[in-house]
């Protein structure tokens, strides 16, 4: 039985989600505790800034008990005493499958259609599989989620336009300059938003980038990852004039770029246009900068208009995306149902072969070698024919495994245990 418990941006604020975040190096220790406490050993843990979800496969417990046990173990692992079950959601069977397919397709994301989530799901799945934490059911489930994501993104317009502030910031720059690849960019801020800005700049062929941050170590780490130049934060004011575009994405409570800094930079640029983009909350660039000659300032409010327009268009694609997801869920359900037939098919095949073998042993004692060979070939043919007929009837009678009552009768007929 497939199940999941989760917490996301839809059910709880960041301060609660942070408590349940599971880092990659915590997944194996958590799985060991889960197996020890519950005997549930097949899991995939997806943990991002917007959600923590634990997918599991088990047949030992009723789903509701299993979900509570996984939640209880997660609390124990994270050392959380408070009660947060009301902020969690839990799904099983088709509902769990549908939820994963919606997450992978970007339908359930804070930014509809965003691409980052599918990479995060793949990373989570690959890690858990390499650590031998997944069974055949979870492996099939997640591979189908990747297929669903690709289908939705290629057959609908759910990823059209710029639906994040970081991508909208870069798109704004594209509209302001005839050519962006030869422009020099300074990014102030080394957090998650800054990282997304760098990714979008690279996608658009911009590589002459300097990065600065109040914590130098953080700036150097991100600069190394994205192959850009780290700039000591204290050098930022005197180096502003070198850059055609300055993007600020920090959590500072006070402006980091003042009007005086920008004025000095503008004077040294001798009339060359300079663009400032502030995607921080609260604002990290003094608004009077926009009044300077040859200086353009754009804030998060300006970019929100671009994002909101895109989001309206993407929401219009949800119906067509849902139709694709419905088909993929039905396909996975069909596969899951057919798996329940395997013990019965195995038993039918075994019993038919066993009867044939026992009956042939008597004929082998009284007939010539040629006769034995002929009887053996005919018996094999007859056995295979009746085995195929039994299996065909089994699939029809049980609706390919979906009719569990009929399947129970078949299992009793062939003395098949649930094990």
- pLDDT band for position 27 (50/70/90)? very high
Q: Is 51 annotated as a binding residue?
A: yes
49 known ligand binder: yes
The DSSP bridge pattern shows strands 209-212 and 185-188 to be parallel
- Mean predicted confidence (pLDDT) in 203-232: 93
173 phi, psi to nearest 5 deg: -65, -40
Q: Residues 104, 51, 161, 167: is their CA dihedral positive or negative?
A: negative
Average pLDDT over residues 34-54: 93
What are the sequence ranges of the domains in the chain? 2-160+317-336, 165-308, 340-413
- Cα separation, 403 vs 396, whole angstroms: 10
Q: Is 293 one of the annotated binding-site residues?
A: no
Name the strand (E) or helix (H) holding 417: none
CATH assignment of 165-308, among 1.10.3720.10, 3.40.50.720, 3.40.30.10, 3.40.50.2300: 3.40.50.720
Task: State yes or no: is 49 an active-site residue.
Answer: yes
Q: Average pLDDT of 17-44?
A: 94
Cβ neighbours of residue 16 closer than 8 Å, sequence gap 6 or more: 7, 84, 87
**pLDDT tens-digit map of 339-387:** 766 666 677 677 777 777 777 776 666 667 777 777 777 777 777 776 6
**Does residue 192 have a known ligand-binding role?**
yes
Asked whether the bond before 364 is cis by omega within 30 degrees of 0, the reply is no
What whole-number distance in Å separates Cα of residue 106 and Cα of residue 154?
A: 13
Instruction: Find out whether 114 is annotated in a ligand binding site.
Output: yes
Tell me the β-bridge partners of 92: 3
- pLDDT-based confidence at 419, cuts 50/70/90? very low
Ligand-binding annotation for 317, yes or no, is: no
50 assigned ligand-binding residue: yes
> For 134-147, how does the pLDDT look when each residue is reduced to its tens digit (9 = 90+)?
999 999 999 999 99
Cβ-count burial 42-73 (b if 16+ within 10 Å, e if not)? bbbbbbbebbbbbbbbbeebebeebbbbbbeb
Q: Is 191 annotated as a binding residue?
A: yes
pLDDT at residue 364, rounded to an integer: 64
- Distance separating alpha carbons of residues 69 and 79, to the nearest angstrom: 15
For residues 403-409, give the mean pLDDT: 63
Residue 253: band (very low, low, confident or very high) from pLDDT cuts 50, 70, 90: confident
- Residue 48 annotated as lining a ligand binding site: yes
* pLDDT value for 208: 95
Q: Which of 142-151, 254-263, 316-325, 399-408 has the lowest mean pLDDT?
A: 399-408
User: Are the C-beta atoms of 274 and 238 separated by less than 8 Å?
Assistant: no
Q: Select which of 49, 128, 228, 317 is catalytic.
A: 49
How high is the pLDDT of residue 115?
A: 79
Q: 9: buried, middle or exposed (CB in 10 Å: 19+, 13-18, 0-12)? A: middle
In this prediction, residue 162 carries a pLDDT of: 59
| Predicted local distance difference test score (pLDDT) of residue 414 | 61
Q: Is 115 annotated as a binding residue?
A: yes
56-104: pLDDT as tens digits: 999 899 999 999 999 999 999 999 999 999 999 999 999 999 999 999 9
Is the predicted pLDDT of residue 298 greater than 50, yes or no? yes
Give 418's pLDDT tier (boundaries 50, 70, 90). Answer: very low
Instruction: Give the CATH class of 2-160+317-336.
Output: alpha beta
pTM score, whole prediction: 0.63
């Amino acid at each position: 039985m497939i199940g999941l418990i989760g917490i996301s941006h839809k059910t709880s604020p960041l301060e609660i989600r942070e408590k349940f975040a599971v880092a990659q190096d915590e997944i194996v220790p958590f799985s060991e505790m889960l197996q020890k406490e519950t005997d549930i050993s097949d899991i995939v843990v997806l943990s991002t800034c917007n959600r923590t979800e634990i997918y599991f496969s088990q047949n030992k417990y009723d789903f509701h008990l299993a979900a509570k046990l996984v939640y209880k173990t997660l609390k124990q692992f994270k050392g959380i005493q408070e009660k947060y079950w009301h902020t969690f959601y839990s799904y099983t069977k088709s509902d769990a499958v549908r939820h994963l397919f919606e997450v992978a397709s970007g339908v359930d994301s804070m930014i509809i259609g965003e691409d980052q989530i599918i990479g995060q799901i793949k990373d989570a799945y690959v890690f858990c599989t390499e650590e031998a934490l997944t069974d055949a059911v979870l492996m099939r489930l997640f591979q189908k989620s990747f297929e669903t994501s690709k289908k939705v993104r290629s057959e609908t317009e759910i990823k059209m336009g710029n639906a994040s502030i970081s991508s909208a910031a870069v798109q704004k720059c594209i509209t302001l300059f005839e050519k962006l690849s030869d422009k020099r960019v300074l990014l102030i801020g080394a957090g998650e938003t800054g990282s997304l800005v760098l990714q979008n700049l690279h996608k658009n062929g911009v590589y002459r980038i300097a990065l600065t941050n109040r914590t130098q170590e953080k700036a150097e780490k991100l600069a190394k990852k994205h192959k850009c130049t780290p700039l000591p934060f204290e050098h930022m004011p005197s180096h502003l004039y070198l850059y055609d575009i300055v993007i600020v994405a920090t959590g500072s409570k006070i402006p980091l770029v003042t009007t005086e800094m920008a004025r000095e930079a503008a004077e040294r640029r001798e009339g060359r246009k300079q663009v400032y983009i502030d995607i921080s909350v609260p604002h990290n660039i003094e608004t009077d900068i926009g009044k300077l000659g040859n200086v353009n300032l754009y804030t998060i409010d300006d970019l929100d208009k671009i994002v909101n327009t895109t989001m309206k268009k993407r929401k219009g694609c949800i119906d067509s995306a849902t139709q694709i997801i419905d088909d993929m869920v039905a396909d996975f359900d069909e596969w899951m149902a057919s798996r329940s037939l395997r013990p019965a098919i195995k038993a039918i095949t075994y019993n038919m072969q066993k009867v044939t073998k026992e009956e042939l042993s008597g004929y082998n004692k009284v007939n010539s070698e040629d006769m034995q060979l002929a009887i053996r070939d005919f018996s094999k043919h007859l056995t295979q024919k009746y085995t195929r007929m039994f299996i065909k009837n089994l699939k029809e009678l049980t609706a390919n495994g979906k009719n569990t009552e009929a399947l129970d009768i078949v299992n009793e007929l062939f003395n098949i245990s649930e094990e």
